[in-house]
Amino acid sequence: MQSHYLLMLCFLTNFLVNDPQIIVAEDRPHVVFIVADDLQADVISVYGGPVPTPHLQELANRGCRFQRATCGYPICHVSRTEFLSGRSVVTEATPGKVIQFPPEWTLWPAWMQKHGWETVHSGKWHVNGQPHQRGFDRTAGLYSSGGAKGQPLTLPISSSGHSVTGYRGWTFKADSEDGSGKPLPELGIGLMPDTDLRIANAAIKQINQTGESPLFLTVNFTAPHDPLHWSKGWENSFQASEVTLPVNFLPKHPFDHGNQNGRDEMIIPAPRTRESVQLQRSIYYALVANIDEQVGRIAQALQSRDMLEETIFIFTSDQGLALGSHGLMGKQNQYEHTTNVPLIITGPGLPAGKTIDSNCALRDLYPTVCELCQLETPESVQGKSLVSLWNASPVDEARTTYGYFTDTQRMIRDDEDWKLIWYPQQNLRQLFHLTADPHEMNNLAADPNHAGRLKKLSQQLTNWLTEQKDPVINASSPSSQMPPKNKSH
């Protein structure tokens, strides 16, 4: 009888260890996923920019920094829908409408919750529904729309003297498990100088309360998205007169890219002056520095509880921002300052100090964490795990990424650093070689020496859009629009 029990015990042990759906408790890492809002990679020092970001640099030293991470659609709501679902949403991203989550889509927090992770959302919520409906056990420092009906913004004028147009009626909500957290307008209506400090504090409180279950914590900051109010403690920390403008600065964009009259572009109407953009950037830089400080505080909280080494720690942004580059102010474009986002990943088993040049997308993060946590990736997920990129040979795996915005912009970037932007409404294409032209100032679409490259990328983009059932492709395609109009930017 005793040998029978021992045999059964050995069988069960082997089953628990080898079944990919069942993970022994001590082998399950915590996951902390931090998302900045409209953070341009090129401004932070870890990517060679002017804003010192020592805490992000420390993360990069401990893990992997991705040089070519792409957001799919440069709008908060759509980009966040992509990484929560692990999907491209070309057919669902109807301008002005909220993207629904079909029941057949398995969302990232719900998948982690199903497999035993304690799921907590902190900060900005800007997708369909409420966190508890999407797989979060509870919220901590939830910041979302509503809760201040009929009440004015607490700070209606930005630090640069412009009328605030964003986050009207947004408030913090009391922590809850069922989505019933009452609004807290007394903490401010709209963005405040201490909004992200409060979000970080709420996240740190959750870390300090972590129990036996592994933690899946998403921290969604609001900065450096406009309205640009100086962060608390960072007032005038960057002087506008000392800000160097990007080399591709222009007073206005040379053609209608599809959003020339959008809200972001009207914050400082074209033509922009150097001085007005310098002031916006100086406040933006302070917001970025504050985000770095809050990331450092969160990492320190994990370290103080001996959790940091067993935590998959991810830092990224939903998209970047133009801030004067190419004559634009907003994020609704397919240039690198917007679509190429910062991405740093650390955690158990990842190499330290590795730079990865291969293309990847934010929708790839969901399957990446699944693989790191030894979970099967749900069938509804279209993204591709990034684990092979740091386990591969020195030559990174070849990948291609794509972007899209309304019915006015489509983009492809290949593994040889060539990039095509197609403007369906303008019968216009831009071809850039990012290795030689990282600031996208020399459009090669009309250059006969690159006609073969243009044709190849146009066909690849057409094929992908067709697979995605893109409504735009029914009317025309990048491969059929010949010859291209030539614009230098």
Is 484 inside any structural domain? no
Beta strands in 81-153 (DSSP E): 118-124, 138-144
Confidence check: pLDDT of 295 > 80 = yes
For residue 432, what are the β-bridge partners?
Answer: 419
Q: pLDDT at position 179, please?
A: 75
Confidence check: pLDDT of 90 > 80 = yes
Last residue of a domain, one of 391, 424, 447: 391
Is 400 inside any structural domain? no
Q: How many CA atoms lie within 13 A of 118 on its CB side?
A: 14
Looking at the structure, tell me whether residues 331 and 449 fall in a common domain: no
Length of the chain: 489
Q: pLDDT at position 27, please?
A: 73
Of all residues in the chain, the percent with pLDDT exceeding 90 is: 83
Arithmetic mean of pLDDT over the chain: 91
Last residue of a domain, one of 365, 391, 417: 391
Is 180 inside any structural domain? yes
Residues 277 and 281: their CA atoms lie apart, in Å, by 6
Q: pLDDT at position 15, please?
A: 35
Distance spanning both ends of the chain, measured CA to CA: 80
- The values of phi and psi at residue 45, to 5°, are -65, -30
Is 396 inside any structural domain? no
Say if residues 107 and 136 touch (Cβ distance below 8 Å).
Answer: no
Q: pLDDT at position 20, please?
A: 38
Peptide bond into 271 cis (omega under 30): yes
Looking at the structure, tell me whether residues 456 and 379 fall in a common domain: no
Q: pLDDT at position 8, please?
A: 39
Is 6 inside any structural domain? no
Residue 419 belongs to domain spanning: 407-474
| pTM for this model (two decimals) | 0.92
Is 155 inside any structural domain? yes
Looking at the structure, tell me whether residues 387 and 412 fall in a common domain: no
Q: pLDDT at position 481, please?
A: 59
Give the C-alpha distances (Å, rounded to integers) separating 477 from 270, 430, 462, 465: 31, 14, 6, 9
Confidence check: pLDDT of 241 > 80 = yes
Confidence check: pLDDT of 306 > 50 = yes
Looking at the structure, tell me whether residues 373 and 464 fall in a common domain: no
Number of domains in the chain: 2
Q: pLDDT at position 480, please?
A: 67
- 133-190 confidence digits (pLDDT tens): 999 999 999 999 999 988 999 999 999 999 998 899 999 999 988 777 899 999 999 9
- 105-148 confidence digits (pLDDT tens): 999 999 999 999 999 999 999 999 999 999 999 999 999 999 99
Confidence check: pLDDT of 407 > 50 = yes
Give the C-alpha distances (Å, rounded to integers) separating 296 from 57, 302, 308, 313, 315: 10, 10, 12, 12, 11
Looking at the structure, tell me whether residues 305 and 182 fall in a common domain: yes
Looking at the structure, tell me whether residues 436 and 368 fall in a common domain: no
Looking at the structure, tell me whether residues 161 and 288 fall in a common domain: yes
Summarize the confidence of residues 420-438 as an average pLDDT. Answer: 96
Give Cβ neighbours of residue 392 (< 8 Å, ≥ 6 apart): none
Angle at 361 between CA 299 and CA 263, to 5 degrees: 90
Is 15 inside any structural domain? no
| Pairing mode, strands 428-433 and 418-423 | antiparallel
Say if residues 31 and 112 touch (Cβ distance below 8 Å).
Answer: yes
Looking at the structure, tell me whether residues 170 and 308 fall in a common domain: yes
